[in-house]
Structure 1
Amino acid sequence: MTDWLTRLLPGDTPVFRHTHRALAELAPRRDRLAAREVAHEILSDPFATLLVIHAINKRMAQRSGNEVTTVEHAVMMQGIGAYLEAARALPVLENTPAGQDAFALRALHGLVRRAQHAAWQARDFAVLHSDIQAEEVQVAAILHHVPEMLLWLRAPAEARRLRALCRQMPAEEAAATVLGQTLPAWRLAILEAWNVPEFTRDLLDPARTGQPRQTILAACIDIARRAEKGWWDEALLQDYQALADLDHLPLEQVIAIAHANAARAARGSTWLAATPAGAWIPMIPGPWPAEEDEEPQPSAAPRSASETVAPRDATIASVQASPAAVEPATVSVPAPDIPQAPAPLADAPQAAPRAAAGEAPAPDEHLACPMPDKQVFRDALKGIESHLDGSYNLNQMSAVILKGLHTGLGLTRILFAMVTPDGERVKSRFTLGIAADDPLRHFEFRLDGKDLFAQLMGKMQGVWINEGNRERLWPMVDPRLQKLVGAGDFYAMSLFNGSRPLGLIYADRGHGECGLDPLTYTDFKMLCLQAARGLGKVRG
């Protein structure tokens, strides 16, 4: 084994300064943290992800234990306090030679962007496929990019040579010249040396194809790589088609989902000095400008994310400046089954708002189509999770849920109807965005009824009424409720605490120009699943 390859084997490895600080800020709250909160910060940094997976599986191998394939599980096994204490001693990448090399640091930032983008895509499509362990797919997508990052960190000369040769010849020929083997074989060998579980490596092995997870990973990793050069690459259609075939989805819906995921990933890490692929979504078709071979002078500092130069001859809009440009087009499709997947990891908590029961917006509040605020959505998930100890009453918990739906998902009319004490009816209890004179405030139906809403109360399930299923499902709605709801698209989902029905959440965006979309439907169901957990734990 060559000397430079030896340098890629397990040893002291830094994390990015952003990660180091984020973990340090969590430490004072270690006794009140959930493992998923710590995992959220770790997953934003491929090096931190590698280190925690390596450490726990090295220990498990010595004890002949089972492999650990998710970061959340690894943190739980190590202990939140123990992990955060150990993280204080991790070296900071920006203080290493690679961190002082502007070109190498920029390359590392670009790979982190790519890894995060691939992970967003892979996790979301795994959830759509009803994968209850979607984080395993997410972790695999991140770790796929780590060997190349290690090359830039510990063998920058070879990394530069590989990049230069990839511009002159096919990537596999360049890899054979520099690495002495194919990229996939080299990548798997490095990951095996780092005690990455065989289960995870198999997901990344191109020789093991045909399984849904491998299909999702291969397509999403390829999307993340190709989209860095624009979204008009014809090869992307093959990736979209593979994902569409997997879940029998319309191709245009898959494209909309991929674009929305790219935008979400782009907004997630503003500390990275690399342009996200999501920035190129509004770009007009045309040839991609040739890359410049010159490296910056050694003294040059890497550009900030806001200073990155856009390709010449490309018409683009900043993801942050114009989020509407990268939101998916509304696609009306029949409602899929509820994916029983874990909720996304949440960021920092936010104080719960006061109960919003009976509040109504200004008369013209939802004339303009709302823009979802994903941070508020994540805060709502986190707010519910952090109050499963019975510290919230019904009003407080409902306020968190309604805010997550209204501000987090951009839903304008929201109603939470609860089972009445006699157990015979479901009746409106809390509303947000519904005017005082709106008949929807009088939403009520019998549990033993035969209409669509009563049928939803048979078990925890959801429905999205849209033009694709309206002809079949709308006649199932009681005529009285049809008048209350109005003829438009809406989401509805029943809530249960175990086998006990709690109520139902109804939401729409009015019945004007603001439509509903499949991504918001997925998030709506995810928040409702979490809401049911929270409502089952309220005090009083």
Structure 2
Amino acid sequence: MAQPITPSSPRQLSVEACLRRIQQAPDFPAFAHQISQIMDALADEEASLRQLTSLILKDFSLTLKILRTANAAHYNRSGKPILSITHAVALLGVEAIRHLAGSLLLFEHYRKRSPGLKQLMLLALLTASQSRELAARLGYPRREEAYICGMFHNLGEVLAACYLPQRYAAILLLMKEQNLTEREAALRVLGFHYQDLAQAAARGWNLPERVVRTIGAVSPTGLRSARGGVDVLSAVAAFSHALTTAIHRRDPEGARARLKRLVSEYSPLLGLTMDDVRAVAEAAIQDTTETFSLLRVPLDDLRLRRQTEAVLEASAESGAEMAAEMDALACGEDLLEELTREIEWVLSSGDDWDLSNVIMMVLEAVYRSEAFDRVLFCLRDPDSERIQGRVGLGEGSEELRAKFRLSVNGNGPLCTALAARRSLLLSTETALSAAEAQLLKQVGATCLGLFPSVVDGILVGCLYADRVGAGADPSARILELVSRLRHLAARAIAAKSPSRRANG
């Protein structure tokens, strides 16, 4: 571990002054707020599945990353593809989602700034992937935690390169001309180490303290008594960072000797062999290539060292194929059909599934069809004979849910459809009665659909969905699939009803 700095030391004061300067950069406050907001939301163990699903679906890249992780063999033992974010979140757990979200936010923000930063973010992804692969080989249970530790290990250098370009150039020059180490050069130019700056920024973003502490791990010194917990995590992150540096940031001639020294230094801690290191590095290259493909970031202009070119060529095709598959199912009718099948599989699997998770999967499927902006699942209150909004998805759905009340015996287009147990679709693009036009205006929608759910002849609730902006009306195929989904919701409710369980 790096030596801690005291609160009033010149080094700490220099870190604080530097961080204040960085915080004044035009893009930094918005990014810091975004990452803090996500970390805060995901730090709440009581956060609802709806909140997490809604948060993730706002970010296309994060959606793809989480789905790809959930489909890894370590998490998905069924062999059935997982396309539902609700299903993926329930499978991965909040902690893994937090680590994936933090890592991806960092990459997406800084890789766009300049070719040099793009290169640094590639190296960060390689370190993150190596950390996760190494954690898996060591049997460390929280491999996504290892991933974010690797991703943030060179955060200090990223911040310096982005916001202090002249000082960063001076550090690189000192390393080259005077043969100084990175730590020696940074201390001379900045008055502190990169790790000091990284830990200060990470704490300000509310990253988990276990992650913050591993940023300070720079060598095996002080880690030789590691037996578990954060020490093993620190050793994994430090070794992965050193491995990335040795392979991708050193002259090819010295890389092999440096690798041997690394294995010798870390072997007492991690029990590594050279074959382990080679396997970890190759797996990380493939994972990183696939991530770049998923995020549509070209690799052509990233100058990876000659030692890895053959591996990159071998793995690029599989990464592109995976990206193409995910893109093809990213939204629309095909995805809606696949998500419907996934729900059918969950209900038929024999597993002890959770009703609220299934309902959220139904809402997510309708929402990701892109036919509607807001989706509600509503239940009937047997005492008041009212249909009430229970859970929603989409921008503005929470406000709509809070005021959504329908009387089973009431008047108006929605109540009439409920009483008749029939679906309803209204659109400003079709002929409307005065009451129907008024309804669309009242809810602020250009199109809406209502799909009653019936169990044993009794109305138990409905799916409600609407579109507030311009767009094509739902196709016949989408309406057919949404109808299947409302029946699946009814099937799930029936299966979990006390009377059905008692009779079963």
TM-score band, normalised by the shorter chain? 0.3 to 0.5
Bigger CA radius of gyration: 2
Q: TM-score, normalised by structure 2?
A: 0.41
Structure with greater helix percent: 2
